[in-house]
Amino acid sequence: KNQVEQSPQSLIILEGKNCTLQCNYTVSPFSNLRWYKQDTGRGPVSLTIMTFSENTKSNGRYTATLDADTKQSSLHITASQLSDSASYICVVSDRGSTLGRLYFGRGTQLTVWP
């Protein structure tokens, strides 16, 4: 069964600290993996995309990694800011159709305290 599991479910950190969010998936075949940020009361916004051949990709203070062999991805946030408080959602796309079906994780709720 194709699934996307994220951990931890929630996380509280102090402003300025780093953190790492995890995403494990069983989706096969694999096309790509995206991390989205969803602020409270808003729709998700794409942070980064990882394809099969990519190991690391950065977007400002966000760095995503992908290990396609172990089917794991992580999102590392450096020097956290209050505005990083949000839900971070991992989404995996397969190649089972021309459009690529999407599998969503439940998200990690990150809270950054001053």
Partner 1 sequence: EADIYQTPRYLVIGTGKKITLECSQTMGHDKMYWYQQDPGMELHLIHYSYGVNSTEKGDLSSESTVSRIRTEHFPLTLESARPSHTSQYLCASSEYQEKLFFGSGTQLSVL
Least Å distance, CB 110 to partner 1, is 14
> Could you tell me how many residues of this chain bind partner 1 (CB under 8 A)?
24
**With CB under 8 A as the contact rule, which of the stretches 12-20, 29-37, 58-66, 67-75 interacts with partner 1?**
29-37
Considering only residues 61 to 100 of the shown chain, the ones binding partner 1 according to CB under 8 A are 89, 91, 93, 99-100
Least distance CB 39 / partner 1 (angstroms):
10
With respect to partner 1, which residue has the nearer C-beta, 18 or 28? Answer: 28
List strands edge to edge, sheet with 56-59.
4-7, 19-25, 72-77, 62-67, 56-59
Cβ burial, residue 110 (10 Å; 0-12/13-18/19+): buried
Alpha helix segments (H runs only) across the chain: none
Three-state secondary-structure class, residue 62: strand
Q: CA-to-CA distance for 102 and 47, rounded, in angstroms? A: 16
CB of 3 to partner 1, least distance (A): 10
Residues contributing to the site for partner 1 (CB under 8 A): 4, 9, 31-32, 34, 36, 41-46, 49, 89, 91, 93, 99-100, 102, 104-107, 109
